[in-house]
Amino acid sequence: MIRRKLLTTGFYLTILAALPLQAAFADDAFPEKPIHITVVWPAGGGHDLVARLLGNELSTIMGTPVVIDNVTGAGGSTGMRHIVNAAPDGYTIGVMGLHAVSQAYMNTNAPELDGLDPLAYISDEPGALQIRAGLGIDTLEEYIAAMQSDPMDLMNGNDPQGGNSFVFAEVIPAALGVEMMKLPYPGHAPTVTALLTGEVQTATLPVPPIIEHANAGTLHVLGVASEDRHPQLPDVPTFREQGYDIVVNDFVMMVGPKGIPDAVSAKLETSLLEAINSDGFRAAAERSAMVLRPLGRAEAATELAAQEELVYPLLETAGLVATELLRN
Amino acid sequence: MLLSAFTDVLMEFATDPRMLGLVALGTLLGLVLGAIPGISSTMALAILMPVTFAMQPGVAILFLMSVFMSSVYGGSISAILMKLPGTPASIFTQIDGYPMAQSGRAGHALTYALVASTVGGLIGLAMLVLLAPVLAGFATNFRSPEFAAVALFGIVMLSFASNGSTLVASVVGFIGVALGMVGFDALSDAQRMTMNTPMLQSGLNLIPVIIGLFGLAEILNNLIGFGRTTHSRPQIGKIMLPLRELTSRWKVMLRGSIIGTFIGAVPAAGSAVAVSIAYGQERRLSKDPDAFGKGHPDGVVAPEAANSASVGGSLIPLIALGVPGDTITAVLMGALMVHGLTPGPLLFTSSPTFVAWIYVSVLLALISTLVLGLGMIRAAVMVTRIPPQLMYVFIAVFCVIGAFAIRNDINDVYVMLTFGVIGFVFTRLGLPVTPLAFGLILGPILEENLRRSLMISRGSWSIFLERPISAILIAICVILITLPLFQWLRARLRPADIVRQSNKPL
C-alpha cells in the first residue's frame, strides 16, 4: 500500500519535472518568440509603467508578444544581474536608471556597468526641489535665506543612499550653498506622503510623483535642475535661470546583456525608438510627466558614461563606494 | 452632488449588460489569479492592466476594480484549501481556515470568508463614501512616530495571537523581527546580516517565508505520518451555512471591518498589518481563545473582514490626497494615470464623476464577487477530494511556483525551502510559527519609523509621548502588558475562589 502510494507520487513528480523541458531553437529571423523586458522594481512603479506601455507598442511593432518580468530585490541589483546574466540573444532586455549606476559602485554583488549594452535612451528625469505650501516660502531666494538662518528648520525627504532623490539632495544644496538635513524614505511614494503630511518640509523628488500636487498648489516647485523648463511645469524656472548652475537628472533607458549580435541589437534599437515615438506612448508619457528624449544605442552609451562620471564622485565623497570598487 | 453622481453612474453601469459582463469577467479573472499562490492582487492588476489600454477610462476602472476586489477574496481560497496564502493579506485566514477545511468544513470556511469579505468591503466602501475627508484628515496625522506606535501595538497584540506561552510567542516574534532586518536597510541602504551574498541581499520576502512556514511545513508534517495513519480524505460537508451562524458573528465582522478601514487608511500600513491586528484582537476578545488556530470561524471572519475593508480604507488617502496607501493602490494609481486620471486633491471638485466611478465599481465588484464566489465554492471544495498523495505533490509544486513568482528570483525558492524546514522543526518542538510572521511584517515597519522618528527629534524619545495618537497607542500597549500582572497580584492577595473568575484571558 505504502509502495503504491509512493509510486503514484513518483509518477506525478516525473511528469511535473518533465514539463519545462521545451527545447528552444535558435533562428536568424529575430524575433521569433516572446521578448522579455526585465523591470527591477515591483509592479506599479515608474519603470514598470514605462515597460508596460512600451511593451504594448513594441509587441505590435515587432509582431511578437512582450512579457514584463518584475525581478526585484536588493535595491535593484537582483534584476540587473538577471539582465547581465541572460543569454545575449535579444530576448531578455531591461529598463534601467540611475539606481543601477549607484549600485554598481555600492554593492560588490551588483553587476558592473560594462556588462550592459545600452539599446535606447528613453527619457530624462530632471531633479527638482519642492517645498510644502503654507510655510511662507515660495521662491528659491526665500528658501536659501531661510536655510542660511537655520539649516535645521527645514528637513528634506529623499531616498536612502544611492536613490535618485538622494543624489539630487547631494547636488542641489551643495550648489545653492546651504546645509540640508536629509530624512530618508524607502521610495518616492512615502516621500510624497511625508511632504504632504508635513513630516518633512522640502523634498528633492523628480517631477512625475509630485506633478499633481504641484498643480493643486499643495506644494511649490522652487526649481528644476534641467537645461530647459519642464514641459509639464512651464511656469517653474530652472535653477540656471535663477543663477545657479545645477543640471542633474535621472534617466530611463533600455539595456541588454553585453554581446547581443549587431543585427539583433540594431533591430531592437529601431523598434524601441519607433515604440517610444509612437503616439500612444508619447501621450501616456506626457500624462505621467516624463521628459522624452529618444536616443539610439551610441548616444545612450555616451549618456550612461556621463552619468557614471557624475555619480561616482558623489558616492565616493559620501563614503559609499565599496572598498573593492574604489577607483585609484 | 457626489451622491447624485453616484446614483447616475450606478444606473448607467447596472443597466448595461456589456458592463455587467465585464464586471463578471474581471471578477472571474481576479478570483482565479488571486487563488494562485504567488500571484498577489498587485500582480493580478499589473498583468491585466494592458488589457484596459484600449478601453474608455470609466470602463477600465470598472474592470480593474473587479479584478482587484475579487483577487482579495481569491487569495483566501488557496489559503483555506491548501494552506497556501495567495496574497500576504490572507496569511491569517489559513490559520483557522485550513483546520476547518481538514475537518470537513471547507465549504463553511469559504462561505465565512466570502461573506466576511463582502461585509468588510461594503463597510469599507461606506466609510470611504461617507467619511473620506474626515478619515483623510486622520490619516495625515500619521507620521513616523504614529507608525512606530501602531507597529508596537501590533507586536503587543502578537502575544495574544497564538496558543501556549506568551513568552515563547514573544521570543519567536522577535526572531521574526530580526529576520525582517536581513538585506538592505530601508533608511541607509546599508547591508545587514547578508554576509555579502546576493541571496541574503534580497532580504527575506514575506511570501516565500510564509509559504514555507505554513505550506511546505504542513506537507513535511504529513509525510512523517504518511502510510502509518489511514489518511482519510476530509469530507466536503455542507456548503451552505445556516444564516444564523453568519449573522451571529456580526460583531466580529464589524470589529474586523473597522480595524481594516482605519489601518488601511493609514498610508503605507497596508492590509497585512490590518489583518494581523484584527486577528490578534479577535483572539484576545474571544471567550474561547484556545480554539483559535484549530478551526475557529472567528479566526477566518475577522481577518477577511479586515482585509476587504482595508481596500476601502486604502482608497481614502488615494482619492482624497493622491497618496497611495499601499503597493496595491500604487498599481491602481499607475493604471488610472495611464487613462489620464490622476487621483489627487483636486479630484473631488474637478471630476466628481470619476470619484463616483470608483465607488460604483467597488460596489459592483463586491456584489459580483459574492455571487460568483458563492457559485465557485462548490467547485473549489472539490480540491479537498483529491487523494492526499496527489494533493501534496500539487501543494509542493505550488509552493515552489508561488515562492518564485513573487519576485522572479530563484533565491526565494531556497528561502521557502529553508523556512519549510524551520516551520516543520518548530511544529515538532511545539513552538508557534504565527508570531514569526507577525514579527516579519511588523518588525521592519517598527524599526524604520522608530529610527526616522528619532532622527526627527534629534534623538529624543519624548517625541512618542508628545504626539497624542502615538501617546494613546503606547498607553494601550502598556495597559495590555501590565493587566496580567495586576490580575496575578490580585490573585495572590485574594482567596482562591476569585482566582477562577479573574483567570479568564484578557
**pLDDT digits over A166-210, tens only?**
999 999 999 999 999 999 998 888 898 889 888 999 999 999 889
Query: What residue type is B354 in one-letter code?
Result: F
- Cis amide linkage into residue A31, ω under 30° from 0: yes
Grid cell listed for B202? 534580497
A98 and A147 inside one domain: no
* Structural domain containing residue A60: 32-124+251-325
A218 and A166 inside one domain: yes
From chain A, pick out residues whose CB is under 8 angstroms from the CB of B42: 42-44
Q: How many CA atoms does the CB half-sphere of A35 hold within 13 Å?
A: 30
Q: Where are the alpha helices (DSSP H) in chain A?
A: 2-18, 46-62, 77-85, 98-106, 140-149, 164-176, 188-197, 211-216, 262-276, 279-287, 297-317
Does the distance separating the beta carbons of B53 and A106 come in below 8 Å?
no
Question: Chain-wide mean pLDDT for chain B?
Answer: 82
Give the per-residue pLDDT at B242. Answer: 77
Asked if residues B498 and B490 have their Cβ atoms less than 8 Å apart, the reply is yes
Determine, yes or no, domain membership for A25: no
In the predicted model, what is the mean pLDDT of residues B133-160? 79
What is the rounded distance in angstroms from the CA atom of residue B92 to the CA atom of residue B435? Answer: 11
Does the distance separating the beta carbons of B397 and A43 come in below 8 Å?
no
Give the per-residue pLDDT at A269. Answer: 95
| pLDDT exceeds 50 at position A254 | yes
Determine, yes or no, domain membership for A16: no
Residue in chain B closest to A320 (alpha carbons) equals: B190
A106 and A135 inside one domain: no
Determine, yes or no, domain membership for A234: no
Asked if residues B411 and B202 have their Cβ atoms less than 8 Å apart, the reply is yes
Which of A207, A224, A241 is the C-terminal boundary of a domain? A224
* Per-residue model confidence as pLDDT tens digits over A2-51: 666 666 666 666 655 555 443 344 445 788 899 999 999 877 778 988 99
Does the distance separating the beta carbons of A43 and B189 come in below 8 Å?
no
In the predicted model, what is the mean pLDDT of residues B253-271? 82
Determine, yes or no, domain membership for A297: yes
Give the per-residue pLDDT at B422. Answer: 94
From chain A, pick out residues whose CB is under 8 angstroms from the CB of B52: none
Grid cell listed for B236? 466536503
In the predicted model, what is the mean pLDDT of residues B285-301? 87
A120 and A138 inside one domain: no
Question: Chain-wide mean pLDDT for chain A?
Answer: 88
Domain with A184 in it: what CATH number? 3.40.190.10
| pLDDT exceeds 80 at position B236 | no
Its ipTM equals: 0.81
Determine, yes or no, domain membership for A11: no
**A19 in contact with B at a CB cutoff of 8 Å?**
no
A201 and A138 inside one domain: yes
Cα of A242 to nearest chain B Cα, Å: 29
Give the per-residue pLDDT at A240. Answer: 96
**A106 in contact with B at a CB cutoff of 8 Å?**
yes
Give the per-residue pLDDT at B140. Answer: 73
Q: How confident is the model at residue B346 (pLDDT cuts 50, 70, 90)?
A: low
Kindly give, in sequence order, each residue whose CB lies less than 8 Å from that of residue B391, ignoring residues fewer than 6 positions away: B82, B383
**A189 in contact with B at a CB cutoff of 8 Å?**
yes
Does the distance separating the beta carbons of A216 and B344 come in below 8 Å?
yes
The residues that bridge with A66 in the sheet, in sequence order, are A35
Give the per-residue pLDDT at B451. Answer: 94
What is the rounded distance in angstroms from the CA atom of residue B435 to the CA atom of residue B154? Answer: 11
Does the distance separating the beta carbons of A53 and B330 come in below 8 Å?
no
What is the rounded distance in angstroms from the CA atom of residue B189 to the CA atom of residue A5? Answer: 50
Closest CA to A1 of B366, B259, B231, B253: B231
Determine, yes or no, domain membership for A278: yes
What is the rounded distance in angstroms from the CA atom of residue B260 to the CA atom of residue B316? Answer: 12
What is the rounded distance in angstroms from the CA atom of residue B268 to the CA atom of residue B469? Answer: 17
Lowest mean pLDDT among A61-65, A224-228, B400-404: B400-404
Q: How confident is the model at residue B103 (pLDDT cuts 50, 70, 90)?
A: confident
Give chain A's largest Cα–Cα span: 85
DSSP B104: I
What is the rounded distance in angstroms from the CA atom of residue B483 to the CA atom of residue B464? Answer: 22
Determine, yes or no, domain membership for A14: no
Does the distance separating the beta carbons of B184 and A74 come in below 8 Å?
yes
Lowest mean pLDDT among A29-33, B4-8, B266-270: B266-270
A60 and A195 inside one domain: no
Does the distance separating the beta carbons of B338 and A53 come in below 8 Å?
yes
A100 and A152 inside one domain: no
A259 and A194 inside one domain: no
Mutation to test the A interface, candidates B323, B390, B413, most A Cβ within 10 Å: B323
Lowest mean pLDDT among A54-58, A235-239, B160-164, B382-386: B160-164
The residues that bridge with A184 in the sheet, in sequence order, are A158
Determine, yes or no, domain membership for A6: no
A132 and A219 inside one domain: yes
Cell numbers 544581474 label which residue? A81
| pLDDT exceeds 60 at position B391 | yes
Per the structure, the count of domains in chain A is 2
From chain A, pick out residues whose CB is under 8 angstroms from the CB of B50: 52, 55-56
Tally Cβ neighbours within 10 Å of residue A189.
22
A212 and A164 inside one domain: yes
A168 and A309 inside one domain: no
Does the distance separating the beta carbons of A70 and B323 come in below 8 Å?
no
From chain A, pick out residues whose CB is under 8 angstroms from the CB of B225: none
In the predicted model, what is the mean pLDDT of residues B397-421? 88
Residue in chain B closest to A111 (alpha carbons) equals: B198
B84: phi then psi, degrees, rounded to nearest 5: -120, 105
| CB-closest option in A56, A75, A78 to B50 | A56
Tell me which of B233 and B54 has the higher pLDDT: B54
A321 and A286 inside one domain: yes
* Per-residue model confidence as pLDDT tens digits over A112-148: 898 999 999 999 999 999 999 999 999 999 999 999 9
Q: How confident is the model at residue B342 (pLDDT cuts 50, 70, 90)?
A: low
Give the per-residue pLDDT at B482. Answer: 85
Grid cell listed for B305? 473582514
A 219-278 near B (Cβ less than 8 A): none
Residue in chain A closest to B228 (alpha carbons) equals: A2
Q: How far is CA B504 from CA B284, B364, B487, in A?
A: 11, 43, 10
User: Chains A and B: how many Cβ contacts under 8 Å?
Assistant: 168
Asked if residues B75 and B89 have their Cβ atoms less than 8 Å apart, the reply is yes
